[in-house]
Structure 1
């Protein structure tokens, strides 16, 4: 049967229920009734804890043993007004002994922490400017901080301890007393500072153990739950941690939190070989200097980031310019491959595209890149994938060689994941020195019948050779990679919009071209028929009168000129993207009669009577206006030609903003349900059988009126005729 193991991170250290010997604690509710107090209150307040739990905070002022009622009254008044974010400190005297009284609120309760003020405390705040100058001018901020804090608190060892990506820690700076072994560069495993301890370091920035063997005192409470000591300076520490300190050769310890961007970046950890109390004022100064160093660190980091950002922006501009100019993105990226690798601090670059795989620098070959690409796409959906030990984790299943690379970053440019960029890094073999072998020690607790964590007994340097892991990509490098992804995506989107715009122009161009193409096959038939019939008459008649000869030759001449004009328009159109014209006034009293004559000849409708009303001039383009009237009048004559009394009426009227032309016939008409589709190309009406036609005439009409800005309206009834209204802008 397996024995259970207690995890170190499960120990509720903030609910330990005990305080250290250098201070005592009183907790009150919002009505100032005392709900909890530590046992060592009795020595300073002259009454039992049981009695205190029956009183309010006013008792502390009224009690005859208090020597400084005014200061205490002021502190209690402040306690009633304090908030979760306030932490006020007062100096008071209890039984002729100086104390600090810290007042703060937490979890809907008021905390009063009394702590001895050390008579030997040095007023270190007087040297604040000197310390700030040391941190400002030092080559290494954290080393300067260690020296300053060592001077303030007088401890044997002061270390700056930085957390790594894997949650382990490393000593990056140190001030140590002569004769002691240096810990600089040593690593500490993650479990040395468990999860719940790290959470407390974020809440309360200083933690003191003045004597690991000193007596601690229990907290008595009327509450139904343990008193939360997350923000307490006098909280007793875990027995496991105290044993850890003793094993490390320390009798006293202080830690100050290094908070960067709201995260626990590291700690200033201080150790002393013998018990040593540190006054609250000195600890607060150390907290201030730590935060000052953080601000200095962030300021220098910002300068570095700004310089890097400037270089990135210059590169982006050059890349963006090329991406805009060049149609093919792959040659552009290939030409910038070296710089893309340098900015990302990569050993190699690969571009995976539907058109192929392109390799640059120290990258695996194309088939391997394709295999990696497929594997990552099949196992996760992140647009940006990063793994420093990719070969170590997946090398065996993918048959990868560790000599090619160790880690990679992959970005997907498109949602289909067919276009991706890879940055590769080779392994960085490092020799990592640990402060003792990084392994958890578990011992069996007979009473609880469970294995519990036990502190390591050895802190002698233990060497570990780390292989198969690439250097971690920094924030700046990942920022650059993300910017490149965004830049390429924006470029592709811009090109997509350009292609869409060109397609729209092409649609307009094709539509206009269709109009003129149909003209060649449709509208030129009319003048060609006139020419053909005129020539046939000239050939058939031996003796022809001068009058008839003149008329036929005029017909041929007019028809030829009309065809020439149409063909010229087609040529002009072929040279421009969009058909444009300068509107001018066109007289129709010659065009329309000419069209009528030609249509009668073409359709053999000599019996068709055409009545003309007033024919007003219109604004437009001559060829288009001719084609417009030609198609409508031709249909009117054609579809009424089989009527015994075929009749067509053409007239125009003037209104304030328009000139309306009406072409009306008494032909076969159009069914009501077919009126919606009369402008569809190649669409012929259901009753048009027996009449010559291809179904393009009215499609041409619709495109012409759209270009001329003419409104068209059709009214029709089967077997009764059709009426077209054309409204020309006036």
Structure 2
């Protein structure tokens, strides 16, 4: 078997263009015209392949498969709705021999794959339950799977082969015929299964070589087209791999893919010293059991993960409690260093936080930790860096000397990468046993004038002493570290938010105090003006009628009581950061009548026609409601007072969700460019010259409506007046 003309890493094995002798293949295009056929079809169809090329599938079926024509037509019709990996299988006779016909599609090509049934094998899926029970009732899943597969196909050796992080593999379970040497625990180098082969194992879950010395047959095409055989069960194998199997002492081989979370976790690899055909139903049963084993494995892993997660959660709660209560994170993490090491399966820990550095266990000195931290920051920009052989690779450059660790994980807490945790692991000297020397042997090819890979000739145990390497960081270790990172970040964020919230409260309190001081000077003007005017009238008149005296003294009394109430509320505001009140039903008719009378007197606007419509009662706080209406009605009367026919309208309406109060005037109006800023403190309108005011009233209005949960909306037009809408919750 000559393989010297092939490059293993360059070989496109899915386009090998050959099939094994136990079956034959037809390929049709999307118009169902046959474009490729394997040349061995004549062995069973009794016609040369040239007579089949370019005819339609319909013609082929009518001529050569008339007994199953209806079934094939039905299966062809269903292909359009099936995923690429879905196969439709029927049984039929060719030249009085039993065959399987698998029909599937790949990239708009239709494949009809014929393969012989095993003459002595009677499919028995009745035993599926017994095999499933074996897998269900054991903790050693892969050993049980090897035994099940061995019982089904009868091969000399059945191994579970697990891929490691470096893409090498290791035998983790095995069933072997008595008298054969065990491969249990042996390692296999990455290049034994090149990446293109691994890609095919993800696409097609079983791969059979019935006889490495058996003949192979070319796939003939109408237009020299390369046909993708990724999903073909009868695809011929690479000559390099056939040579590899021969060197390993196997004449037949079959593998079943172990897919975990969409990735190739490993293989069930089977070898037999003599040629052996494995029936399609046997292969399907083995694939099914392999998937069952994967599900059982994931179920057990989930139980382990749940238990581990429970322990982590309990630890996190204890850590979180401390982080929330204490302001300084560094000493808290230092106190929890032993647990942080135990959960991460590490031997040491370093904590870098601001200017402080803490080391624990098998961590290097503080200067060395800082040097390592700065080095990794330059080497790696991601928040997580891990290595099992850091000292071996970088120890000399960093002058670490006789470091007490070999591998590390660095995880950054903040984006500035100044707050970091580093976990350290000591070296673990191990003796790794390989199935033969893992060195890739190259031979010189005269024809190519280049060195090419050669299949290994020896599979004798070859021992390698591995030094300077720590045990691999497991996914559970990294998961724990990421959880701790998230927990610390959340604690920092919470502290930051608390500080920000306190600052915001201080701002709000200051703003509130400012507003309350403005309220004292602004909202008390009305009742003070009423008192002042009433007293002036009493002083200016020598004789006062009992009716006028009663009216003026009542005005003074009402204004005094109002001022007292307002001052009391302002005092309450100044003491608490949040004003709380018990909502009460307030009838506004008397309140609004009083406000209108006071404002007319204050702005000398007796000529202003104030129309009051329905005034429905509302829920709120009486003093705040008085201030709210006082400021709005005051503005309406004030800014209309210079109009010849000054008019103000006040009314309310009710719907199921709200009570709407509308205060409308025909005063000076507000420009559209200023509407968005009218509630700003000290905001004076550009057209308000000639009217007294400080720009505080509407700022107070905004604070009140926010406190009461009232919605305010303003419509206005220069020279045509303003309309305020107040929506109170119903």
Aligned residue for 2:353?
353
Mapped to 2, the partners of 1:570 and 1:343 lie a distance apart of: 57
Residues 391 and 405 in structure 1, CA contact (< 8 A), matched pair in contact too:
yes
Q: Aligned pair 1:104/2:103, yes or no?
A: yes
Mapped to 2, the partners of 1:495 and 1:154 lie a distance apart of: 66
Mapped to 2, the partners of 1:579 and 1:205 lie a distance apart of: 70
Aligned residue for 1:88?
89
State TM-score, norm by structure 2: 0.72
Aligned residue for 2:69?
73
Mapped to 2, the partners of 1:207 and 1:172 lie a distance apart of: 20
Residues 75 and 90 in structure 1, CA contact (< 8 A), matched pair in contact too:
no
Change in CA separation of 1:656 and 1:680 when aligned onto 2, cut-off 3 Å: closer
Aligned residue for 1:555?
none
Residues 90 and 100 in structure 2, CA contact (< 8 A), matched pair in contact too:
yes
Mapped to 2, the partners of 1:729 and 1:128 lie a distance apart of: 72
Aligned residue for 2:287?
287
How far the C-alpha of 1:11 sits from its partner, in A, is: 0.4
How far the C-alpha of 1:320 sits from its partner, in A, is: 3.5
Residues 187 and 433 in structure 1, CA contact (< 8 A), matched pair in contact too:
yes
Change in CA separation of 1:510 and 1:60 when aligned onto 2, cut-off 3 Å: closer
Change in CA separation of 1:89 and 1:388 when aligned onto 2, cut-off 3 Å: farther
Mapped to 1, the partners of 2:278 and 2:713 lie a distance apart of: 94
Q: Aligned residues, how many?
A: 685
Residues 387 and 409 in structure 1, CA contact (< 8 A), matched pair in contact too:
no
Aligned residue for 2:637?
none
Mapped to 2, the partners of 1:139 and 1:194 lie a distance apart of: 31
Change in CA separation of 1:32 and 1:622 when aligned onto 2, cut-off 3 Å: closer
Residues 411 and 420 in structure 2, CA contact (< 8 A), matched pair in contact too:
yes
- Structure 2 counterparts to residues 219-368 of structure 1, below 5 A: 219-354=219-354, 356-368=356-368
RMSD: 5.9
- Structure 2 counterparts to residues 423-572 of structure 1, below 5 A: 423-514=423-514
How far the C-alpha of 1:203 sits from its partner, in A, is: 1.5
Q: Which has the larger displacement, 182-191 or 131-140?
A: 131-140
Mapped to 2, the partners of 1:439 and 1:16 lie a distance apart of: 27
Aligned residue for 2:526?
none
Mapped to 1, the partners of 2:303 and 2:408 lie a distance apart of: 29
Change in CA separation of 1:427 and 1:567 when aligned onto 2, cut-off 3 Å: farther
Aligned residue for 1:149?
149
Change in CA separation of 1:82 and 1:436 when aligned onto 2, cut-off 3 Å: farther
Mapped to 2, the partners of 1:157 and 1:711 lie a distance apart of: 84
Mapped to 1, the partners of 2:55 and 2:564 lie a distance apart of: 114
Mapped to 2, the partners of 1:54 and 1:683 lie a distance apart of: 88
- Structure 2 counterparts to residues 678-697 of structure 1, below 5 A: none
Residues 426-463 of structure 1: per-residue CA shift (max 9 Å, x gap): 23222111111111112222233332221011111111
Residues 666-694 of structure 1: per-residue CA shift (max 9 Å, x gap): xxxxxx9xx9999999999xxxxxxxxx9
How far the C-alpha of 1:173 sits from its partner, in A, is: 0.7
Aligned residue for 1:34?
34
How far the C-alpha of 1:162 sits from its partner, in A, is: 0.5
Mapped to 2, the partners of 1:584 and 1:230 lie a distance apart of: 84
Mapped to 1, the partners of 2:678 and 2:43 lie a distance apart of: 106
- Structure 2 counterparts to residues 195-210 of structure 1, below 5 A: 195-210=195-210
Q: 1:267 aligns to what SS in structure 2?
A: strand
Change in CA separation of 1:224 and 1:573 when aligned onto 2, cut-off 3 Å: same
Aligned residue for 2:215?
215
Aligned residue for 1:408?
409
- Structure 2 counterparts to residues 110-129 of structure 1, below 5 A: 110-119=111-120, 121=121, 123-129=123-129
Q: 2:459 aligns to what SS in structure 1?
A: coil
State TM-score, norm by structure 1: 0.72
Residues 6 and 450 in structure 1, CA contact (< 8 A), matched pair in contact too:
no
Residues 82 and 105 in structure 1, CA contact (< 8 A), matched pair in contact too:
no
Mapped to 2, the partners of 1:104 and 1:422 lie a distance apart of: 56
- Structure 2 counterparts to residues 672-711 of structure 1, below 5 A: none
Q: 1:14 aligns to what SS in structure 2?
A: helix
Change in CA separation of 1:180 and 1:227 when aligned onto 2, cut-off 3 Å: same
Change in CA separation of 1:678 and 1:307 when aligned onto 2, cut-off 3 Å: closer
Aligned residue for 1:164?
164
User: Which ranges of structure 1 fall in alignment gaps of 5 or more residues?
Assistant: 64-68, 524-562, 588-619, 630-651, 660-671, 685-693, 713-726
Q: 1:25 aligns to what SS in structure 2?
A: strand
Residues 171 and 186 in structure 1, CA contact (< 8 A), matched pair in contact too:
yes
Change in CA separation of 1:358 and 1:46 when aligned onto 2, cut-off 3 Å: same
Aligned residue for 1:418?
418
Residues 188 and 435 in structure 1, CA contact (< 8 A), matched pair in contact too:
yes
Q: 1:316 aligns to what SS in structure 2?
A: helix
How far the C-alpha of 1:266 sits from its partner, in A, is: 0.7
Mapped to 2, the partners of 1:462 and 1:307 lie a distance apart of: 39
How far the C-alpha of 1:163 sits from its partner, in A, is: 0.5
Residues 35-92 of structure 1: per-residue CA shift (max 9 Å, x gap): 22222222222122222225444345535xxxxx555435532452353322414242
Residues 512 and 579 in structure 1, CA contact (< 8 A), matched pair in contact too:
no
How far the C-alpha of 1:267 sits from its partner, in A, is: 0.8
Residues 515 and 700 in structure 2, CA contact (< 8 A), matched pair in contact too:
yes
Mapped to 1, the partners of 2:680 and 2:56 lie a distance apart of: 93
How far the C-alpha of 1:251 sits from its partner, in A, is: 1.7
Change in CA separation of 1:331 and 1:118 when aligned onto 2, cut-off 3 Å: same
Q: 1:106 aligns to what SS in structure 2?
A: strand
User: Which ranges of structure 2 fall in alignment gaps of 5 or more residues?
Assistant: 524-562, 592-620, 631-647, 654-659, 662-670, 685-693, 715-724
How far the C-alpha of 1:655 sits from its partner, in A, is: 8.6
Q: 2:25 aligns to what SS in structure 1?
A: strand
Residues 520-574 of structure 1: per-residue CA shift (max 9 Å, x gap): 9999xxxxxxxxxxxxxxxxxxxxxxxxxxxxxxxxxxxxxxx999999998777
Residues 239-260 of structure 1: per-residue CA shift (max 9 Å, x gap): 1111111111112211111111
Change in CA separation of 1:655 and 1:163 when aligned onto 2, cut-off 3 Å: closer
Residues 412 and 418 in structure 2, CA contact (< 8 A), matched pair in contact too:
no
How far the C-alpha of 1:300 sits from its partner, in A, is: 1.3
Mapped to 2, the partners of 1:51 and 1:406 lie a distance apart of: 66
Q: 2:448 aligns to what SS in structure 1?
A: coil
Change in CA separation of 1:336 and 1:520 when aligned onto 2, cut-off 3 Å: farther
Mapped to 1, the partners of 2:117 and 2:379 lie a distance apart of: 60
How far the C-alpha of 1:399 sits from its partner, in A, is: 2.7
Change in CA separation of 1:707 and 1:39 when aligned onto 2, cut-off 3 Å: closer
Q: Aligned pair 1:62/2:58, yes or no?
A: no
